[in-house]
Chains A and B, each alone.
Chain A
Amino acid sequence: MEKLENSLGELRQCFRSGRTRSVAWRKNQLRAVLKLIHDKEDVIFEVLQQDLGKHPVESYRDEIGVVKKSANYALSNIKKWMAPKKQHVPLLFFPSKGEVLPEPYGVVLIFGSWNFPISVALDPLIGAISAGNAVVIKPSEQAPACSSFLANILPLYLDDSAIKVILGGAYESEQLLQHKWDKIFFTGSPRVASQVMTAAAKHLTPVTLELGGKCPAILDSLSSPSDMKVAVKRIVGGKWGACNGQACIGIDYVLVEDKFKSTLIEILQKFIKKFYGENPRNSGSISRIINKNHFERLRNLLEDPVVADSIVHGGSLDEETLYIEPTILLNPPLNADIMNEEIFGPLLPIITVDNIRESIDFINSRPKPLAIYAFTKDETFKRQILAETSSGSVTFNDVLVQFLCDALPFGGVGQSGIGRYHGKYSFDTFSHEKAVMQRAFFPELEPRYPPWNEFKLKFIRLAYNFDYLGILLLMLNLKR
């Protein structure tokens, strides 16, 4: 506890000294992150393999590549982001200057998650650094090899009087939350997010919460068989390809018209076989379940006999290797847990509807998800989905790639989160945008000051309408 106090004291001191505010410091730290990623790429592959059984291609695509891209993007744009933005000031206040100046919050806390333990810690870190803050990262203890890696390696590359990694579990997190932070960035579950925000409320600390939800994939009828193949291929990629279903933006369930269900299942099976072979356990291209707790949780989802009955593919589990086969379910009961909590695993329910447009009501009757995926060529349907559903993001005809689009904000709404990041939004999320206005001593507008009278009221009425001609006339005593 004392050690924590000391660390925090050091960070506050460091921030106050102004060290983290210079462009040079920020750029150096960003370059250091790049160097770290470059030098330790193999080690990162190793620890991700250890914690999650992630294949290096997945690790590169979802973690190393993401961090590299973010850091490079920040490096090339940071000067632009740091510059004050001029704002329009009405003529009435002439001469004056108005601008919005971003400034760092101060000392910020980032909670990492276990499914993308490297990128979900380092990507926000890049945002915090570019905005000029001092940072504490608390990686998830459920990914121990990655957490240790961060704790050991970060201090070797980054300025450790300003950027620290603190390891621990629930107790340490609670301790951290007792203190006053200038901003908290949290990635994880809604349940814990609520606790984080409640703790933040004590200190009026602003928060960004990146949560999840049941991200649906709507599969409309696609007349061309090759389009259908591509769509289903992408669905397979969007379910099992990203940490084996353990991703906030991974596909949770699929909605399809009843008449297409057999085709869908057939093609899903085909691609599962193509990607992972006859025995996915041995493919090496699919991550495993993170730990026993989550394995149990997923097993329990399948326990209900009615749910178990709806399995049409897969369903086998191996506790020793924490392996669950890619599993497809057809119309499990809607009141079962599997259709009410975020699955976060390799189980894919297919829900059939009579008309695909019913998907909209289905989605709206559930909490707002982080992402909605829709495979359709029907422009009207696209517009309808956009206008009538709400989610963090919507991606048409693909999955997951919105994550790589730096110009798009990445964040949720409602139960899927508060705030956003990626690209410039990372910089913004860790900055306070200060409004700055400058005026001169001349000219002076007498009607601003008491004692009040009719003339002053007339003047101010005209002023508020920006009726400059009227004001002129009034001043010249020509207005009635």
Chain B
Amino acid sequence: MNISMELLRDFSSVGAGASRAFSYPFTRKTKQRRLSFVYLIRTSYSFKSCSATLSLTAEVEEKPKFDVDKAALLARELRKSFNSGRTTNYEWRMSQLKSIEKMLEEKENDITEALYKDLSKPGLEAFVAEISQVKSSCKLALKELSHWMIPEKVKTSLTTYPSSAEIVSEPLGVVLVISTWNFPFLLSLDPVIGAISAGNAVVLKPSEIAPATSLLLSNLVEEYLDKSAIRVVEGSVDETTALLEQKWDKILYTGSARVGRIVMAAAAKHLTPVILELGGKCPAVVDSNINLQVAVRRIIYGKWACNNGQACIGVDYIITTKDFAPKLIDALRYELEQFFGKDPMESKDISRIVSSSQFARLARLMDDDLVSDKIVLGGQRDVNQLKIAPTILLDVPEDAQIMQEEIFGPLMPILTVEKVEDSFKIIQSKPKPLAAYLFTNDEQLKKNFVQNIPSGGMLINDTILHVATDGLPFGGVGESGMGSYHGKFSFDAFSHKKAVLYRGFDADASIRYPPYTTQKQRLLKAVINGDIVSIILALIGW
């Protein structure tokens, strides 16, 4: 299986055409980079026509491609840097984290602007969902790093007496972070913060589908961080392929299950451990005996106010009872208007669809014969502005495409069942999602849900927030991914936990060594079981 071909199939279906013009290799000279950055801001970035961008590329001279050789060189360079011990000491890690903190303070406007350029993300959403989360992560690491780095003492048993033992966290080495386009800033920097705090050298490959943010990250990392150990490689399929051929000590990938498989297969060649943060169809089960207004607002918050449905942990679909559905739909209708006004297409408080190919995909889901007549709210779209209104569909058939793939957009199917418990079977018949939500006051239902619905994480009576809680690991299971991070879990994710046992030369038991006798056998049995009575008995020859 050729990595490049596989990636090309996937990437080209998500607007890579337009973004190719912006896949500047990382060896660009600074001067020209700044110039073209300015052009980027001035040129109204549109996916419709590449003419503006084509003339831009003509002005920039042909730069050497970032190919396998360049990738190998990069990996070697960073490995040299890591081997010099530079990244492992506490001071270096703290200095990098402090620089990130400074960068977030000083460049907040630039970041917000880039996110607006890439996704029309409202300023406040950019702040809440991305900038503050990164700030939080950074702050936590700065505060806790010295504790995290302390070896963990562990108890030893009679079996290895006398001895002492501990678990030492050490960096893995040189790690690769491959990020994605929907929270391009957060999902790039958050793992990088984890990698740095664990003492690794890092290569970050941001998504080319969010080119303004990708470019910004490249510039900011160069400006604020230690470039001998932390680098950004911009680009698309080719660059990612070149990177994946190298040996890394860990790879953290955020994106689709399809590409996740490719990443893991590439990692397998080098026995590189991976963390895959994927997605899935995150269901929200809505019971009837609840505070409907609050529940609905939280659902909207977890769907349309969160990158307009383009979030891995966003609510993908709702399951509720047949009786309750009309009430739910009315409440949604009302609250949507409160949030986004009478005409959501005009609202400044909602993000747009990221690219024309994503737009086309969502349009196809809506136009599907099986569901086109099930739309009960919304359905408006504007291909020029890449906007689709919050759309609700009722009782779509299970075999419709919209129920077969992760929607990742502002379409919300509502499935109805006789009893709310029937929702469990529906969820269990699908691949395990990254998150599962339940709105209810019924304690037994909550218990059953938690026990019986496998998912990366779950949240009762709210949406999304569990990933903002540092104490909880963020990761999937099955199709939604493997491994986790956030908070201390990020530090752990990028560390090797080395087991260390200290022994002395005293008390060397001859029972350990041949020639083996029955007496030795008996004593050995007792020692392994750590059973002091048997040890004594064996010693006295019982």
Contacts and interface: CB of A to CB of B under 8 A. Distances in A.
Nearest to B428: A16
A56 B514 CA distance: 11
Contact of B349 (A101, A197, A434, A451): A451
A444 B469 contact: no
A407 to B, nearest CB: 4
A18 B136 CA distance: 40
Contacts of A440: 461
A277 B499 contact: no
Nearest to A400: B512
B172 to A, nearest CB: 7
Interface string B261-274: 11011011111010
A440 B443 CA distance: 12
Interface residues of A, number: 108
Contact of A451 (B261, B268, B340): B340
A193 B461 contact: no
Interface string A207-238: 00101000000000010101100110110110
A405 B471 contact: no
Contacts of A233: 508, 513
A437 B465 contact: yes
B235 interface: no
Given A65-B528, A202-B265, A420 B512 contact: no
B514 A283 contact: yes
A264 B342 CA distance: 87
Interface string A5-26: 0000000000010100000000
Contacts of B520: 57
B57 interface: no
Contacts of A432: 454, 477
Contacts of A391: 498
Contact of B156 (A197, A407, A435, A450): A407
B339 interface: yes
Contact of A226 (B124, B249, B505): B505
Interface string B132-168: 1001100000000000000000111101100101011
Nearest to A457: B124
B305 interface: yes
Contact of A57 (B125, B163, B524): B524
B469 A434 contact: no
A241 B514 contact: yes
B20 interface: no
Nearest to A437: B466
A204 B294 contact: no
A66 B527 CA distance: 11
Contacts of B542: none
Interface stretch (B36-44, B360-368, B407-415, B478-486): B478-486
Interface string B246-272: 000100000001001110110111110
B136 A464 contact: yes
A418 B271 contact: yes
A402 B501 contact: yes
B136 A405 contact: no
B301 interface: yes
Contacts of B184: none
Contacts of A469: none
Nearest to A464: B132
Contacts of B473: 100, 433, 435
A68 B500 CA distance: 24
A398 interface: yes
A274 to B, nearest CB: 8
Interface in B77-106: 83, 85, 88
Interface in A53-70: 55-58, 60-61, 65-66, 68-69
- Interface residues of chain A: helix, strand, loop or mixed (majority): mixed
Contacts, number: 297
Nearest to B89: A387
B465 A56 contact: no
B457 interface: yes
Contacts of A69: 159, 528-530
A224 B466 CA distance: 58
A439 B499 contact: no
Interface in A274-288: 275-277, 283, 285-286
A58 B516 contact: yes
B212 interface: no
Which of B135, B459, B477 is most buried by chain A, counting CB atoms within 10 A of its CB?
Answer: B477
Which of B125, B156, B260, B264 is most buried by chain A, counting CB atoms within 10 A of its CB?
Answer: B264
Nearest to A199: B268
B170 A390 contact: yes
Contacts of A407: 154-157, 165
B285 to A, nearest CB: 14
B118 interface: no
A449 B305 contact: yes
B349 A198 contact: no
B489 to A, nearest CB: 9
B513 A448 contact: no
Given A103-B454, A393-B499, A448-B301, A209 B271 contact: yes
Nearest to A422: B499
Contact of A434 (B477, B501, B513, B528): B477
A27 to B, nearest CB: 18
B481 A204 contact: yes
B102 to A, nearest CB: 16
A405 B162 CA distance: 12
A168 interface: no
B450 interface: yes
A436 interface: yes
Contact of B264 (A103, A200, A438): A200
A65 to B, nearest CB: 4
A450 B472 contact: no
A361 to B, nearest CB: 10
Contact of A415 (B160, B271, B478): B271
B375 to A, nearest CB: 22
Given A93-B469, A397-B503, A414-B271, A237 B513 contact: yes
Interface string B442-464: 00001000101011111111100
A206 interface: yes
B503 A93 contact: no
A441 B295 contact: yes
B290 interface: yes
Contacts of A413: 172, 496, 498
A436 B459 CA distance: 6
A460 interface: yes
A241 B498 contact: no
Interface in A356-379: 364
B297 interface: yes
A344 B497 CA distance: 25
Given A386-B500, A439-B459, A439-B462, A57 B516 contact: yes
B350 interface: yes
Given A204-B278, A460-B132, A449 B297 contact: yes
Nearest to B516: A57
15 contacts: A18-B452, A65-B529, A68-B529, A89-B469, A200-B264, A204-B478, A285-B514, A286-B514, A390-B173, A396-B501, A402-B160, A406-B157, A418-B271, A437-B465, A439-B460
| CB-CB nearest 5 A-B residue pairs | A87-B471, A197-B268, A201-B264, A435-B457, A57-B516
Interface of A: 16, 18, 55-58, 60-61, 65-66, 68-69, 72, 87-90, 93, 96, 98, 100-101, 103, 105-106, 182, 190, 193-195, 197-198, 200-202, 204, 206, 209, 211, 222, 224, 226-227, 230-231, 233-234, 236-237, 241, 271, 275-277, 283, 285-286, 364, 386-388, 390-398, 401-402, 404-410, 413-415, 417-420, 432-442, 444, 448-452, 456-457, 460-461, 464
